[in-house]
Amino acid sequence: MRGRNTACVVGLLLAVTGCTATANDTTTTVPTTSTTTVATTETLSAGDGTPGATGLNDPYNPSAGNGGYNVVHYELDLDLDVATGDMAGVASIEAIALDSLSSFNLDLHGLDVSAVAVNGVETASVVADGEMTVLADLDRGTAFTTTIGYSGVAGQVSSPSVGIPNGWIRSDDGMFTVNEPDGAPTWYPVNNHPSDKATYTISVTVDDPYTAVSNGLLMEKRSGDGTTTFVYSSDDPIASYLTVVAVGLFEEEPEAGPQGLPIRNYFSPDVTDVERSYFSRQAEMIGFFAGLYGPYPFDSYGSVVVDADFPAALETQTMSTFGRGVLRLEEAVVAHEIAHQWFGDSLTPASWRDIWLNEGFSTYAQWLWTEHTDGPEAFDGLVDNAYRTMSGLNLVGEDVAPALAAALAAQQYPPPGAPPLTNLFNASVYQRGALTLHAMRLQVGDDTFFEAVRSYAMAYQHQNVTTADFIEVAEEVSGQDLDALFDAWLFAEAVPSIPQLGLAPPG
Ligand SMILES: [Zn+2]
């Protein structure tokens, strides 16, 4: 076993804080220089500023993220014992104070913090209920670096918004992360909200012969004493839910993408040839989508297929993650995750409320890929089936009258523009979201539709977006008032008719 003494890794002299303090700790004053300090979140403040907010007031998860600062760059050094899952981490987080702060918060779940420093000076901190509060005296506009040593066996959080595990997950030959929407704080301290995108350098040290995969370009592969350190770097900003680390006995299969774009695929050894074959047209997919949406937005792409029957894939930036459970859906899911590199990764919703901007756009792109490979009838079939499912037409039969079918569908598939917090990724944000785009296309015509979507993708590259941003571009490019169309498709309970296709809801 290798030593995993976090305090040594950080290079700090003292472990400053009692970092597993609970709400029962009642220390009333906090020394600004100290040895061992235990405090409540409420008492941890310094200087003339005010405490940073513990959330960003996203209506879909008010406590998600933290206020008072904006992160510029994360540098994560993770030292992982693959067999036990024991991890020692050091996070260096460069940020800008947006207010005068007496303290600020990061999100962190289930890991032990051994030492914290702000701009190289040790400071006190407390972790409780997924919130880490760091004592600091910062003027508004100050750039500052927070260094945090931490350790433990990372785990999972149950997210209010999604039914699949979120966080750090074991696979048959290693582990992988699934962060969307709440998993990132299970493995690093983070401002966990999609509106605070930042660049990343992620270094992962694993025992030989394991391979560690992460976002961006592999900058360095360093051999140690029976270990290898993999250093990845991303110059383009990433939302924390799109960061990834996957470790396994991966077989690397590199290929060349359009214009020399490097594509690196990592397959766990048990991944079958049939499963691998779904990835054989990634270069063509990237070229196809670049033709529709503008240049591929990043310096690399790749897919990692982990040896777990995990029933999902995630569009982790530049390195999509696939559980083997999802590959039964075949090639279309590979196209879907590539389309997300534009819609979700480059253009990231400012609030979870607008998740249809990810899923509706990527589902529509996936349908376009199917049209490209299987012809217009296949595309028409996807549109028709989605409409029948979303509207309830599919349910109408001897036992189900049209009005009941419409009511059942409305209950199961709420309008995609404001999905329920407890069912954020319901099928409506995918399918009715995609139908919303198709309805717009039928109204404004093919050329205008694709020009609008491309203009939107180019205008907001690497930024955050809202539904209003897209509607504004769509109206500008088309010269039409599209409010009624988007209101009906995104926010009205009843699925609108598509007269051009002879489709109308039951009843
Ligand atoms: Zn998706």
Say whether both 122 and 41 belong to one domain: yes
- Is the domain of 270 the same as that of 390? no
Same-domain check for residues 195 and 179: yes
Cα(235) to centroid of ligand 1, in Å? 23
Last residue in a domain, options 346, 381, 410: 346
Q: Are residues 443 and 331 in the same domain?
A: no
Please indicate, yes or no, whether residues 334 and 207 belong to a single structural domain of this protein: no
Bridge-partner residues for 37, per DSSP?
A: 17
Instruction: For residue 147, report the distance from its CA to the centre of ligand 1, in Å.
Output: 34
Q: What is the amino acid identity at position 234?
A: S
- Does residue 258 form part of some domain? yes
Asked whether residue 417 is assigned to any structural domain, the reply reads: yes
Q: Residue 490 Cα, ligand 1 centroid: separation in angstroms?
A: 18
Would you state the pLDDT for residue 57?
83
Q: Which of 346, 380, 406 is the last residue of a domain?
A: 346
Residue 99 and residue 153 in one domain:
yes
Same structural domain, 387 and 342: no
Check whether residue 34 and residue 150 sit in a common domain: yes
**How many domains does the chain contain in total?**
3
Question: pLDDT per residue over 194-251, tens digit each?
Answer: 999 999 999 999 999 999 999 999 999 999 999 999 999 999 999 999 999 999 999 9
Tell me, yes or no, whether 378 and 493 share the same domain.
yes
Dist. CA 260 → ligand 1 center (Å): 26
Radius of gyration over every alpha carbon of the chain, rounded to an integer in angstroms: 24
Res 283 pLDDT > 50? yes
Q: Which of 197, 226, 247 is the last residue of a domain?
A: 247
> For 90-144, what is each residue's pLDDT tens digit?
999 999 999 999 999 999 999 999 999 999 999 999 999 999 999 999 999 999 9
Ligand 1 centroid – CA 435 distance (Å): 15
pLDDT band, very low/low/confident/very high, at 398 (cuts 50, 70, 90): confident
Q: How close is the Cα of 358 to the center of ligand 1, in Å? A: 6
- Residues 92, 189, single domain; the answer is yes
DSSP state of 200: E
pLDDT tens-digit readout, 324-337 = 988 766 899 999 99
The tens digit of pLDDT for each residue in 435-486 reads 999 999 999 999 999 999 999 999 999 999 999 999 999 999 999 999 999 9
Render pLDDT for 20-53 as a digit per residue (tens, 0 to 9): 333 333 333 333 333 333 444 455 667 788 999 9
Residues 6 or more apart in contact with residue 196 via CB below 8 angstroms: 56, 65, 70, 71, 239, 240
Res 407: pLDDT: 95
Are 224 and 159 in the same domain? yes
Tell me, what CATH number does 13's domain have? 2.60.40.1730
What pLDDT band is residue 161 in, cutting at 50, 70 and 90? Answer: confident
The residue among 211 and 160 whose pLDDT is bigger is: 211
Whether the predicted pLDDT of 184 surpasses 50: yes
Q: Could you tell me if residue 486 is inside a domain?
A: yes
**Can you tell me the distance from the alpha carbon of 256 to that of 236, in angstroms, rounded to the nearest whole number?**
21
Q: Residue 504 C-alpha to ligand 1 middle, in angstroms? A: 27
Residue 12 has a pLDDT of 35
Ligand 1 centroid from CA 335, angstroms: 10
Which CATH number fits the domain that encloses residue 400?
Answer: 1.10.390.10
Q: Lowest mean pLDDT: which of 53-62, 152-161, 287-296?
A: 53-62
CA of 51 to the centre of ligand 1 (A): 36
Span of 33-42, 94-103, 313-322, 385-394 with lowest mean pLDDT: 33-42
H helix or E strand, kind and range, residue 472: helix 467-478
Residue 507 in domain = no
Q: Are residues 495 and 424 in the same domain?
A: yes
Question: Ligand 1 centroid vs 320 CA: distance in angstroms?
Answer: 11
97 domain residue, yes or no: yes
In a domain, 1, yes or no: no
Whole-number Å distance between alpha carbons of 168 and 151: 14
Q: How far, in Å, CA of 243 to CA of 128, rounded?
A: 24
What pLDDT, on the 0 to 100 scale, is given for residue 21?
32
Give me ligand 1 centre to Cα 465, in Å: 16
CA of 291 to the centre of ligand 1 (A): 20
336 CA distance to ligand 1 centroid (A)?
6
Higher pLDDT, 23 or 265: 265
Distance 204 CA to ligand 1 centre (A): 27
pTM reported for the whole predicted model? 0.91
Kindly state the average pLDDT of the residues 262-268.
97
Q: Is residue 102 part of a domain?
A: yes
Residue 267's identity, in one-letter code, is F
Question: What is the residue-averaged pLDDT of the chain?
Answer: 91
The DSSP-derived string for 114-164 is EEEEETTEE--EEEETTEEEEEEEE-TT-EEEEEEEEEEE--EE--TT-SS
* Locus of tokens 């950080």: 10
Report if residue 413 sits inside a domain: yes
> Would you state the pLDDT for residue 329?
64
Which range marks the domain in which residue 125 is found?
6-247
